[in-house]
Amino acid sequence: MTDPNAIQPSALDQLPDRDPEETAEWQASLDAVAREAGPHRAAYLMRRTLERAEAGGIALPKLLETDYVNTIPTSAEPGLPGDPEMEARITAWNRWNAAAMVTRGSKHGVGGHIATFASAAWLYETGFNHFFKGKEGDGSGDQLYIQGHASPGIYARAFLDGRLNEHHLDNFRQEAGGGGLPSYPHPRRLPWLWEFPTVSMGLGPLSAIYQARFNRYLTNRGIKDVSASHVWAFLGDGEMDEPESTAALALAAREELDNLTFVINCNLQRLDGPVRANFKIVQELEAQFRGAGWNVVKTLWGTAWDELFALDTTGALVRRLREVPDAQIQTYQTRDAAYIRADFFGKDPALAEMAKLLSDDKILEVFHLSRGGHEARKVYAAYKAAVEHKGAPTVILAQTVKGHTLGDGFASKNANHQMKKLTVDEFKTMRDLLGLPIKDSDFVDGVVPYGHPGADSPEVRYLQERRAALGGPAPARRTHTLAPLPAPAEKAFASFDKGSGSQNVATTMAFVRLIKDLVRDKETGKRWVPIVPDEARTFGMESLFPSLGIYSPKGQTYEPVDRDQLMYYKEAKNGQILNEGITEAGSMADFIAASSSYATHGEAMIPFYIFYSMFGWQRTADQMWQLGDQLGRGFLVGATAGRTTLTGEGLQHADGHSPVIAATNPAALTYDPAFAYEIAVIVREGLRRMYGEAKPGEDQNVFYYLTVYNEPLPQPAKPQGLGIDEGVVKGLYRFNTAESAGLSPAANAPRIQLLGSGTAIHWTLEAQKLLAEEWGVAADVWSATSWTELRRDALEADAALLRGEERVPYVRQALQGAEGPVLAVSDYMRQVPDQIAQWVEQDWSSLGADGFGLSDTREAARRHFGIDAQSVVVAALAQLARRGEVKATAVKEAREKYGL
């Protein structure tokens, strides 16, 4: 592993030594200290010397920074293999078609981005020609996290190699009619090409780290050897401001993920202007990554700078480059030679003398064009160094010019992110610069043509040969034809049918007990991936520690303090549990990697991530959207759910709305089960749908969100009769009637239907008894396992009616003939049950926990929100009174009786 405190190579290594004898004396002195007093003393003296130099104003790189020059000197660069001229022609075609596609689309007002790919073209092309392994070779190939704003360039390359045609390009960002291309990398929209959604900035780098980590997990657990896979994440320097971008840097270094490379396109610009106008983003990122333990490779300057560095015998050039802020570097890109002579070289007498040796053309060449990220040889050297480095992940900081080759109207302009098109004259200038054989007559009616050298051209043959040698097209997503996973033994699910008797069991514990049985299954048990954010003991999962082990690439290098206990803390290299510490974002990134393993690696894994429900969707909903886009499968479990169930924890821990947020995600199947047997039915159905035999027309690319509670209560036996399992899955079934509950209502008693979800059903059952015994009202109790699925079914029924098909929503079918009004109750805001109100034919009312949570007992909190059993009784009587079925005075009497 790279020592982040080690002194890094600097520009001094590339400068002529004016006094080798003096240098040798200094080195001999250091060697003598190390020999006589030990290396630690030598290191101490060096650090104190560096501190003294900094205090004295001597310009030296900080310990975590090197000078503003290339890490790999030109003299140390390996030769570029292949045919550089051919690759240059391919890149030129890609540049042209990317710009043409966005410009043509701009006429339809659909937008698009040109400048990002223009700066990063060589970063991608060098990888495609020499490094990125495809999926048709051995193993799983590489995983590519493409920068979202660079998507036009990736489409342009797919057009060149025949995977896309002009119709596709002409329908960039126009998908409704079919055959169009999504704006950014969206696997759900274009699943044969894109693997990873990345344009929600910050999520790409976070996911890439955990994907590299999950690759090691699969290998170490013996599921599949994916050690040959390399994860490449292409990022923007502005994107690194997102906290998620750097949230897991320490994890990547700590676990020595040398199967991971970040390529940060440092064009010094974000969406509105410079990334670090008064500072230097490259130096900042270098220090940040070195400090986290990464290997850093800076590729800043092109070969045209070699002449200048050779003239810099005093180090004045290196000093000047270190002090000029990024915004001024950007300004040089747009100004003439006279300005650069005065502002850059004129600040130092030594540089002024150097400038006399340089022509104006040379100055413009180095300051306008020559960047390390624009030269294939320098990019190749950086990539080769990255894949060969062992013991730590690598970040490549490649400096480029945003809008490169698009003309003076684009390059380095603050507004170029919002600039969507080039004029015909600008395209002709670009054509001449790139040397493309496109005639003026090809511009028909002012429309820029697409360019293609021909399916059998040398360029296309070369491109395809290079990809064939590397294992097939890239990027690419493969949907493997996997055999359905066998269903676990029915015994694991049926054990919940009989209930818990007199034992109180929280639904959180019921879920954990089910998982304990499922992970023991001989066929599928090894495929479960339990994920917890440092709350396993809270959820009663510590018993899984010794049996499954907690994954660690180091194994367990210590003796755990609780080794003599039955449920000791066991880490193992082949451990099954991913205990991520206090990071919901990291846990979700784990879940995303595991949930899409069926496509990435052809191995179906079954992740379940259990978390405080309040800190799931509220904190990481963007990642859950990413999960849906990536076609992930698995179980998200919001534990300690509900606004009143988690006693004493207060406002910020009280979840009264996660089902509302979850309902916005089309890929999330949201359930709020009340009883243990319901959990068993839902998990069994989820395993069938996502991993087993799918029904015709059924989308397997979904994930389940279950809310479970920490309130220990008796778990009833599963009711007898047909349709219970169907009702649990579809979202609603009648749990009991007043008669089946043994309450013996009068024949003409007023009747009401009470719908409850999750822990709220226990209040409705208590209210059912109070209504019968104290008010002579018959109440039937229904378990609403999923308000969201009921709503989705009803929406589909509405859509079917508009198509002329007769279809009745399931919720209306289930409640058909039920007497009296309906009162829905949940431990969430009323908006949750109110989702289905418009499809219920009976009079509708609801109760919920709207507002902020508070610290108190469950009973006091429920009374505060008006959702306890007595409040349900009063609300039920009020509904019946409005219908004239009970006396109006009954409502007031009930309020007074219960102290409401």
Residue segments in the chain with a per-residue pLDDT below the cut of 50:
1-2, 4-9, 11-12, 412
Q: Which residues pair with 235 in a beta bridge?
A: 264
Give the pairing type, strands 778-783 and 260-266.
unpaired
Query: Torsion-angle region of residue 642: left (phi > 0), alpha (psi -120 to 50) or beta?
Result: left
Residue 182 main-chain phi, psi, to 5 deg: -65, 155
**What integer pLDDT is reported at residue 411 of this predicted model?**
61
pTM for this one? 0.93
Structure tokens at 695: 């029904």
- Say what the pLDDT of residue 2 is: 46
- Cα–Cα distance, 267 to 300 (Å, whole number): 10
- HEC readout, 87-146: HHHHHHHHHHHHHHHHHHHHCCCCCCCCHHHHHHHHHHHHHHHHCCCCCCCCCCCCEEEC
pLDDT digits (tens, 9 = 90+) for 864-878: 999 999 999 999 999
pLDDT of residue 409: 65
The answer for residues whose C-beta is within 8 angstroms of residue 8's C-beta and 6 or more apart is 61, 65, 66, 290, 296
pLDDT per residue over 12-61, tens digit each? 455 678 888 998 999 999 999 999 998 878 888 887 888 788 788 887 76
Q: Which DSSP letter does residue 369 get?
A: I
How much is the pLDDT for 15?
A: 63
Give the pLDDT confidence score for residue 418 in this predicted structure: 53
Grouping H, G, I as helix, E, B as strand and the rest as coil, residue 217 is helix
Note the pLDDT of residue 127. Answer: 98
pLDDT of residue 7: 44
Residue 554 CA: distances (Å) to CA of 230, 234, 591: 20, 29, 21
Instruction: Give me the pLDDT at residue 6, please.
Output: 47
CA distance 215 to 594: 9
C-alpha torsion angle, residues 243, 246, 250, 256 (rounded to 10):
150
Q: Tell me the residue type at 899.
A: G
What's the pLDDT score for residue 5? Answer: 44
